[in-house]
Amino acid sequence: MTNALMTASDSTLDLGPSTSVKARQQAMWASGDFSVIGTTLQIVGELLCEAVDLHAGERVLDVAAGNGNATLAAARRFTRVTSTDYVPALLEDGRRRAEAEGLMVTFETADVEALPYGDASFDVVLSTFGVMFAPDHDRSASEMMRVCRPGGRIGLASWTPTGFLGQLFRLVGKHVPPMPGVRSPLLWGTDAHTQELFKGAARTAHITRYFTFRYRSAEHFVDVFRTYYGPVHKAFAALEPAGQAALESDLLALLNQADICRDGGLVIPAEYLETVVTR
């Protein structure tokens, strides 16, 4: 995972010292408590495992796994899962979830841009809202292709630039400039970009899906995200009180505009792209 506060129009920039970029990214995603947000997204992992047609016994790698939504979904289908992320605290959250369900999962700290596995080590490689935030898109896609066996599948879920999350990221980016030197993660939510990244694959298929955010109110959503979601948490922390108030006001306006519930509670459909690549 890395900085989510990018716009869809960002072009490739000089990455600079990669270790510095990654250190800042790790600090961002380690702040707050992503598991509070991540657990609400579980259905995305379940749908992705169905989309790649997992078979019991297959070797599965979940990259940039966060707190393990795709990991747990795959393990529930009796596959042999290795769950990876470069933020150890997130993997620990996933480990606790797996233990609570009695699921057998291997958890290992690893960077999707330099996976410590041999060629063709896995039958299936998955990522839900994870690899899209890696700074080097080409290297990340290449590494996923490398460790996936010929004929295997790669399954991805990525927020789209035109959906609610795309709007939210751009709004936050107007208040706090995004981290320089990385491409927009929202590019992964477009057919053209993923086709280009996986152009050596036998087949790439896309489906547009929606995850529905359900919170008590717009104020509740802002409170949860500013407290627990690393990029928003860090954005608020970077602002003076007046800037925080302005960001909160703009977020509330966006949330109320996107809300489709008119009889209590907050209901917001968020578009994402589900991609299945056949290696």
**230-238 helix and 241-258 helix, angle to the nearest 10 degrees:** 140
pLDDT at 9: 32
- Segment 4-17 shows an average pLDDT of 32
- Residue 79, token pair as written in the block: 């596959």
Structure tokens that stand for 237 in this block: 């922390």
| Residues whose CB falls within 8 Å of the CB of residue 273, separated by 6 or more in sequence, listed in order | 156, 157, 158, 159, 160, 188, 189, 190, 191, 194, 206, 207, 208, 209
Q: Is the confidence at residue 16, as pLDDT, over 50?
A: no
Alpha-carbon distances, residue 253 vs 41, 200, 218, 232, 259 (angstroms): 23, 43, 9, 16, 10
Position 137 scores a pLDDT of 95
Place of tokens 């997130």: 90
Lowest mean pLDDT among 44-58, 103-117, 171-185, 210-224: 171-185
Distances, alpha carbon 185 to alpha carbons 12, 81, 241, 245, in Å: 11, 25, 29, 27
- Confirm if 249 and 255 have CB atoms less than 8 A apart: no
* SS3 track for 182-193: CCCHHHHHCHHH
Query: Which residues are paired to 206 by β-bridges?
Result: 275
- Burial of 169 from C-beta contacts in 10 A (0-12 / 13-18 / 19+): buried
- What is residue 13's predicted lDDT score, i.e. its pLDDT? 29
Structure confidence at residue 6 as a pLDDT band (50, 70, 90): very low
Residue 122 and residue 191: Cα distance in Å, rounded?
24
pTM above 0.85, yes or no: yes
What is residue 11's predicted lDDT score, i.e. its pLDDT? 30
- Domains, the chain: 18-214+272-278 (3.40.50.150)
